Amino acid sequence: MRERRGWQTGLVTSLNEPSPDTTPDAASDASSDPKQSEASGDGAGLSALAAARIAVGVLIDGGVQHVVVSPGSRSAPMAYALAEASAEGRVDLLVRIDERSAGFTALGLALATGSPAAVLTTSGTAVGNLMPAVMEANHAAVPLVVLSADRPDELRGTGANQTTVQPDLFGEQVRFAVDIAAGTDPRRAIQTGLSAATGAFLDLPPGPVQLNLAFRDPLVPSQGEELPPAAERQHYRIGTEPLIMNLPRASTDLPERRTVVLAGHDAGPVAEAFARAHGLPLLAEPSSNARFGPNAVGPYRLLLEHFGPGAAMPIERVVLFGRPTLSRPVAALLARADVQAALYQPVPVAWYEPGRRTELPLESLADLADFAGRGTAEWLDTWLLAASAAQHALDGILSAEAPATGPSVGSLVWKHARGQLLLGSSNGIRDVDLAGLPAPEPAATVYANRGLAGIDGTISTATGIAIGGRQETTVLLGDVTFLHDVGGLLLGAGEEQPALRIVVLNDSGGAIFDLLEHGAVREAGTYGDAVERLFGTPHLVDLAALAAAYGVGHCAVSTTAALAEALARPIEGRSIVEVRTDRSGLRALHGRIKEAVAAAVGGVLTR
């Protein structure tokens, strides 16, 4: 057993000896099913199939509803045991030939259901392909269970085919890792792993775990064994409707303060309720699931400079819910020496190490209320008037652009989304953050892979979210993000088809870099075409042909009117809406938006 440092402290252990649970009495008590107590016949304890059946039973009893399987030989005992459980209607199986896609699909399933989801791989490089999904699950506190099949101990280090060092392969990225020796009862290790994955012990947030299961030949069922009679699995749609909370009105005994509520990723509706109860402006990122209500400010990041040092009404305090990740103006606000900030943290979180952030962590809403105080009518009204003026100016600029642009696409997708919405990293989520008008009530549950903010596995994550949530799902992503996970479109014959609309903003390359310092370098021309080639990564991929190859519906639009029409259609099966646009004028567009908003807001604040 080895301890890990900081908030990532987890457990790594090895079960190379049969546990006490493998005594004859314990084994016979474990299950009345003779399949599960069958010995291997060579004096090495449980057979591969018997151990796998026990493992599957413990996983299901521990709340695992979905397992994504990538095919392989060494993992065959688990695959057969899962096939038996699936036939009995006890678990949902999904099959993906690419382990990277399988990992992100399981991640999406866990996000949508809130339950641990497992991914099964064979040995070797198959396990390594899960690293990106495991890293995201680690920093986003998602209960992802890695079931990695392995060779028995006697074959390790011998040059046996497809054998590497798999125990603790994921290092500090997992909450718990265990190596379960061939022939041993996996019950205790799996129960511990599930407790770690769901955050039930160690005072750790939920997160990924690795259960490395060694299997010894034979790896297939015995002659005469067959699948049990098929039983229909009952499916119940997870209650993932967007939530609204209510909190008591803030006490008039609280001091009046110029405080803002900042809702970062995964803040939840409590952030909106707190802002409303305390009469404070709400600055909410799209994936906070708090971007709604009467206090929500739309293009807030363009307003922060108007409430900075030297302004007539500068911000005094910030109360932070969730993880802020999207904009430099927000980062600058939290770094201001003249602004006090507190972080609402009622449970352990996975996105930072204790002591590494400057905000004051507070566990109770009562303490947060004392810190925040309450806003005056003038403070809130000033923000809402500025927000209205900024939104009007922004909409005016976007309506003047005949072709669709990133911000106009983000605005429309946000407006039309129902059920579930996944926002890809890069420009997509930032376009929504800039132009998505907060509604009186939330219309969709919003997801985003903001643990590490990567573009990896977005289509696969969306597929898992759609299948897990069992409701229509929209994903907005850029063309580079789409191409990075285009293999996620591959669903085998007979696999469940999700109700998934994929909106691809196709500007033939990576536009986000033009909005960073690299855009200025490109405009200066000092590095020739290096910025375009190395950061823009231009391409000429035919997305319609790709969609046809994968059997996915496709339509192409280039105007906001055509996009609105496409988004208004019901989501049936999988389809791609390709929005073709030009990124060459994006930096200038954002400049015009900023200037227009500054002029409009300046006029309001000087009245």
Q: What is the pLDDT of residues 377-430, one digit of tens each?
A: 999 999 999 999 999 999 999 987 778 999 999 999 999 999 999 999 989 999
Report the alpha-carbon distance of residue 463 to residue 461 in Å, rounded: 5
Is the confidence at residue 351, as pLDDT, over 90?
yes
Beta bridge partners of 500: 473, 574
Over residues 505-563, the pLDDT tens digits come to 999 888 777 777 887 887 888 887 888 888 888 899 999 999 999 999 999 999 999 99
The torsion angles phi and psi of 503, rounded to 5 degrees, stand at -95, 115
Over residues 298-350, the pLDDT tens digits come to 999 999 999 999 899 999 999 999 999 999 999 999 999 999 999 999 999 99
The torsion angles phi and psi of 25, rounded to 5 degrees, stand at -65, -45
The 3-state DSSP composition of the chain as helix, strand, coil percent (nearest 5) reads 40, 15, 45
Is the confidence at residue 6, as pLDDT, over 60?
no
What own/partner pairs with CB < 8 Å and gap ≥ 24 does 492-495 have?
492/95, 492/96, 492/97, 495/94, 495/95
Strand 553-557 to 176-180 pairing: unpaired
**Other Cβ atoms within 10 Å of 526 Cβ, number:** 10
Segment 433-448 mean pLDDT: 96
Contacts of 114 by beta carbon, 8 Å cutoff, 6+ apart: 238
Segment 91-105 mean pLDDT: 98
Instruction: Please tell me what DSSP assigns to residue 468.
Output: H
Q: Burial, 309: exposed, middle or buried (Cβ in 10 Å; 0-12, 13-18, 19+)?
A: exposed
Segment 358-371 mean pLDDT: 97
Is the confidence at residue 7, as pLDDT, over 50?
no
Between 34 and 467, the more confident residue is 467
Query: What percent of the chain is predicted at pLDDT more than 90?
Result: 78
Can you give the pLDDT at residue 238? 60
Go through the domains of the chain in sequence order and give each one's CATH number: 6-214 (3.40.50.970), 259-376 (3.40.50.1220), 404-581 (3.40.50.970)
User: What are the distances in angstroms from CA 169 to CA 5, 96, 130, 164, 165?
Assistant: 17, 22, 10, 10, 7
pLDDT, the chain, mean: 90
